[in-house]
Amino acid sequence: MKNLIAALRIFAQYTDSAYPTGCTHDELHVYVDPREVSDADIVVLEKRGFFVTSAFDDHFTSHLYGSA
């Protein structure tokens, strides 16, 4: 839980959206544009389980926190 909260605090610096997340089967998506996130924060987010796929390079995804 602490890793998820730490990641969400980082994401909160980059969006003020009322609905910044979504889930698909076994995936949590955070709709923050990776191009706007600092390199240092991306490293921390990767350690917390979030990544950017080449198919969806406009947001972050994690397999650790989403389940359907």
Dump pLDDT digits (tens) for 20-41.
Answer: 999 988 999 999 999 999 999 9
CA distance 28 to 24: 7
Q: For residue 67, what are the contacts with CB-CB under 8 A and spacing of at least 6? A: 23, 26
Dump pLDDT digits (tens) for 51-63.
Answer: 998 777 999 999 9
Q: Give the number of other CB atoms < 10 A from CB of residue 45.
A: 22
**Where in the chain are the domains?**
2-62
Question: Within 13 Å and on the Cβ side, how many CA atoms surround 20?
Answer: 17
| The model scores a pTM over 0.75 | yes
3-class DSSP state of 17: coil
